[in-house]
Homo-oligomer: A and B are copies of this chain.
Amino acid sequence: MRLAVIPGDGIGPEVIAEALKVLGEVVPAAEITRYDLGAARWHATGELLPESVLGELRQHDAILLGAVGDPSVPSGILERGLLLRLRFELDHHVNLRPARLYPGVRSPIADPPEIDMVVVREGTEGPYAGNGGLLRKDTPHEIATEVSINTSFGVERVVRDAFARAAARPRRHLTLVHKTNVLTHAGSLWSRVVEEVSLQHPDVTVAYQHVDAATIHMVTDPGRYDVIVTDNLFGDILTDLAAAVTGGIGLAASGNLDVTRRNPSMFEPVHGSAPDIAGQGIADPTAAVLSVALLLDHLGEHEASRRIEASVAFDLATRDHQSPGATYAIGDRLAALVSSNVRTG
């Protein structure tokens, strides 16, 4: 197993160290290559993602990324030039974001129900396409545009993926989230594709919600969701909210998948570089560890993946959530649990 690791900025390297500690327990033979992409490299060399590095990354089975972003770099440079560029160049069209309320974890919502959903967020088009511009900048007549681009090709492949996931889950329920009553063009395409693909999945129940209504149900009735399929921007928003409702982005893992497997998929915690707590050794590495579980599952190492997830579940059920421990201590605990081969559930 050849893995590329991009620790990145802020707390990225801190949580990645623990994620690799845990990985070492289940796949000791994994070959790891580190890439120092991020704010420091940009400051030193002006480079974001050199072609040669991109070429090397392609030679790996998967990529593990910590976090990207730093206050010293103007907004958008690292995000568009590095993180989104990776997602687009490597055709990470399925941005997979599970949100589960683990036993023992406190939700900010009162009397939370069981929550166990997966958001399939489109990852390579929509409002993230980078299409748009500024006209008459810095004049009173300035115009800024952002073009959301949605293709039949791009929408269909994520909708198919979402249906397949829904069909494989016990509840077999899929919710399309969009804003079809306002974004009528993109909304029409998304709705038609969902309708067509649903014909091949008569066993999957399909629902639709406008994105604004979905944020309401995410706090009043999150247990209703099983699989959500949605566009790049709505998925960005909804998955942060889903993470909040299930205990915070300290626990939310994600996979950026090229489901065709032509390119390596990339796994990363949903949280960012958190510059406010970077360097203090207090970041929770759990989301990074769960991202390793997603990575292993993607590479067919299902048993190793389950062991990590079960260890995290056990730790969350038993940890003192007021003082869960330092970053390294949580990593040590999870590594020990994984190596002792704990099984729960």
Binding site for B on A (CB under 8 A): 69, 75-76, 79-80, 84, 107-110, 127-128, 132-134, 136, 138-153, 179-189, 191-192, 211-213, 215-216, 218-220, 233, 236-241, 243-245, 248-249
Contact = CB atoms under 8 A, between A and B. Distances in A.
A215 B244 contact: yes
Contact of A215 (B191, B213, B240): B240
B109 A219 contact: yes
Contact of A151 (B84, B142, B241): B142
A143 to B, nearest CB: 5
A79 B181 contact: yes
Contacts of A189: 134, 142, 144
A220 B139 contact: no
A141 to B, nearest CB: 7
Contacts of A76: 180-182, 184, 187
Contacts of A69: 181
Contact of A186 (B80, B145, B237, B241): B145
A187 B245 contact: no
Nearest to A84: B182
Given A144-B188, A148-B148, A237 B240 contact: no
